[in-house]
Structure 1
Amino acid sequence: MPHLTKDVNIAETFERSAVFGLADVLDSEPELLTQSASRTSRHWQLVRAVRELVEASPDCPLTVAELCVRLRASRRTLQYAFEEALGMNPFLYTRAIRLGKVQRELQSAASVTEAATRWGFWHLGNFSAEYREQFGELPSETLRRYRG
């Protein structure tokens, strides 16, 4: 099954299902929740809410401060939630989500620039470096592969 994780759509669907499923299970079984589990459930709810906000505003990336305001959570709360739930900070998570969206859009985009700017990456040099760091290839290589 390792070959399935290379398919972006399957990997995104699995990730979303796992995160949302876990949050739903934790929400639906309150008698099983201890104080620690309740905190974990809240953290997963914050992760889910951040993902929804990021996906809802593709061309205008939200800063961590804006996410805090929209979610009515402190920066520290958001930081702890992401560190506990995912082992990364909210900024890296939102960037990874946006990069994944660009990768997916490269399947049908006319150009790398079109896909990158759609998801709020305006400095294409930095974008290419971040994309390569996450996916191990340049976005132009991904575009060529999808077209090939």
Structure 2
Amino acid sequence: MKYTKITTWFLAIAMFMFGILKFVNPFKGWYTVQIVNSGLGQISYSMGIMGEIAVGVALFFCLINGQRISKKLYIFLTTISFLTIIIMMLTGVFVHLHPNVPADVLPLKIKPPYIPLFFLVVALSNIYLLINRNTQKTEGRPNS
């Protein structure tokens, strides 16, 4: 439980922060070049920003109100958020590997997609643990 809570806070803060940063330069300019040069289309620009902010807000909501909302709603919102992060990070891997996107507009100025792959693994691990924990509880096994 502790791992999931820590990584969920990390993802909430990081996704929200990265979404907000895309409104200010130099991040706005870098993000624009990434979208244009990768050929993702103009709609991807807004969807990426809105997606990051929405995921951050949804995870903050779950973390802050976890005891006040139903378990079913908590699981639904966190699972959808983690799946959305996975989709966004797969897109990030595509952008990193796209030959028309220069390294100087990428995070840390590196082409290998270490950052999106890290976020992808964290989101996948949270989904796995969430599913595993709920499967154990429904089958009557003790929580590990």
TM-score with structure 1 length normalisation?
Answer: 0.31
Q: Which has the higher contact order (CA 8 A, sep 6+)?
A: 2
The alignment's TM-score, normalised by the length of structure 2, stands at 0.31
